[in-house]
Structure 1
Amino acid sequence: MSKAERTRAFIIERTAPIFNKKGFAGTSLNDITAATGLTKGSIYGNFANKDEVALAVFDYNLNKLNTAVAIEFAKHTTAKEKLLVYAENYEKIFNLPFTEGGCPILNTAIEADDTHPDLKKRAAAAVLSWKNKLVQIIEEGVANKEFKTDVNAAELALSMIAMIEGGIMIAKLLGNANHFVVIMQSMKKMIQTL
């Protein structure tokens, strides 16, 4: 890795929690320089603008989240067990890489919806990729006779994503993590009845 690549990676890693917590609009260049100890010239010598930093940070945060999920998936073999990873371990996955700010997909989707088309595209692609992964797991479960044959994989995948992201939003908004736990218990029951 070249010095320039190391510097870019350093900036991304150090500013990832700030962007995740404050969002694109709330993160200033002063926040970036304070977190990195670099000058504005160093930041802009490695990134064209704040937009480029934000996109790289989103990719970094998404990769951390996906890696944490993949580690949990690797511990299981059946489709049902993999789906239950979300209901039983998502809070652990969610808290490990993102101690501050919450889910990067949710945060970015909400903030960028009407304000930042490029970030919105990244968040949308993340949700669609997540949906596709879930659909694949559900279809494997149907093929392996773990689930009923009439399960609508796309509908179930979107419902699970909505329950997870909605649960996070409600828990954060109301300041009560138990709301998320209750929603995950409902999702667990839903998965158990497939």
Structure 2
Amino acid sequence: MSKGEETKSRILHQAAELFNQQGYAGSSMSDIMRVTGLQKGGIYNHFQSKDDLALQAFDFAIARIKQHTRFALRSKRHAVERLQAIIGIFSSFAENPPIKGGCPLLNTAVESDDAHPALREHAQQAMNSWLHLIRRIIETGIAKGEIRSEVSADEIATIIIATLEGAIMMSKLYGDSIHMYRVINHLNQYLENHL
């Protein structure tokens, strides 16, 4: 990796954490300069605008989560095991998130709802990817006879994601990971009993 690529990667990481903690609207160029230690020109040498940086920083944060997901799924073959591995990732995120500030998808989806259409589109793409992964695991499990045929992949994907994201929100709001642990226990029991 060249020095320029290293600098860009460092900016992305630092900006992703800043945006994830303060929001896009709540982060000024002065804030970005402070966390990166660079002047405006040094940042704009790698990014066309604050919007460009925000989009790439969000994609960087999502790529970190996808990397954790791939690692967790690597050795899992059974569909329910794979779903439990995805749920387990969020258990580790409660104590040690890959990006400071909580779930970048949740944070960005809430902030960009009406205010930033391009960020909203990136959040939708990330959510679509997550929904698709869970649905694919369930559909493969049904085809292999590991999951009951009458199970709705769409319904289970919605339940898993909405429940985990709600747990992240409550854990962050109250500063207490107990909400995440309750949800993880519930979802694991749900998968074992209903699939």
State the TM-score, normalizing by the size of structure 2. Answer: 0.92
Decide whether the 8 Å contact of 2:141 with 2:147 is kept in 1.
yes
CA RMSD of aligned residues (A): 1.5
Distance in 1 of aligned mates of 2:97 and 2:109: 21
Please state how far the C-alpha of 1:18 moved relative to its aligned partner.
1.0
Match of 2:68 in 1: 68
Distance in 1 of aligned mates of 2:180 and 2:97: 16
Deviates more, 1:8-17 or 1:114-123: 8-17
The 3-state SS of whatever aligns with 1:113 is: helix
Distance in 2 of aligned mates of 1:91 and 1:20: 19
Aligned pairs (5 A) from 1:78-157:
78-93=78-93, 95-98=96-99, 100-157=100-157
Deviates more, 1:131-140 or 1:178-187: 178-187
Distance in 1 of aligned mates of 2:19 and 2:89: 25
For residues 151-189 of structure 1, the C-alpha deviation after alignment (integer angstroms, 9 at most, x for no partner) is 000111111110111111122123221112111211111
Decide whether the 8 Å contact of 2:167 with 2:179 is kept in 1.
yes
List gaps (5 residues or longer) in structure 1: none
Distance in 1 of aligned mates of 2:134 and 2:86: 10
List gaps (5 residues or longer) in structure 2: none
Decide whether the 8 Å contact of 2:20 with 2:107 is kept in 1.
yes
Match of 1:55 in 2: 55
Could you say if the C-alpha distance between residues 86 and 78 of structure 1 is closer, same or farther in structure 2, counting changes exceeding 3 Å? Answer: same
State the TM-score, normalizing by the size of structure 1. Answer: 0.93
Q: May I ask how many residue pairs the two structures share in their alignment?
A: 193
Decide whether the 8 Å contact of 2:142 with 2:149 is kept in 1.
yes
Distance in 2 of aligned mates of 1:92 and 1:12: 23
For residues 62-95 of structure 1, the C-alpha deviation after alignment (integer angstroms, 9 at most, x for no partner) is 0000100110111311111010113334221462
Deviates more, 1:30-39 or 1:109-118: 30-39
Could you tell me which amino acid in structure 2 is paired with residue 97 of structure 1? P
Deviates more, 1:117-126 or 1:182-191: 182-191
Decide whether the 8 Å contact of 2:79 with 2:138 is kept in 1.
yes
Match of 2:174 in 1: 174
Distance in 2 of aligned mates of 1:131 and 1:192: 20
Decide whether the 8 Å contact of 2:72 with 2:86 is kept in 1.
no
Could you say if the C-alpha distance between residues 6 and 185 of structure 1 is closer, same or farther in structure 2, counting changes exceeding 3 Å? Answer: same
Decide whether the 8 Å contact of 1:87 with 1:185 is kept in 2.
no
The 3-state SS of whatever aligns with 1:147 is: coil
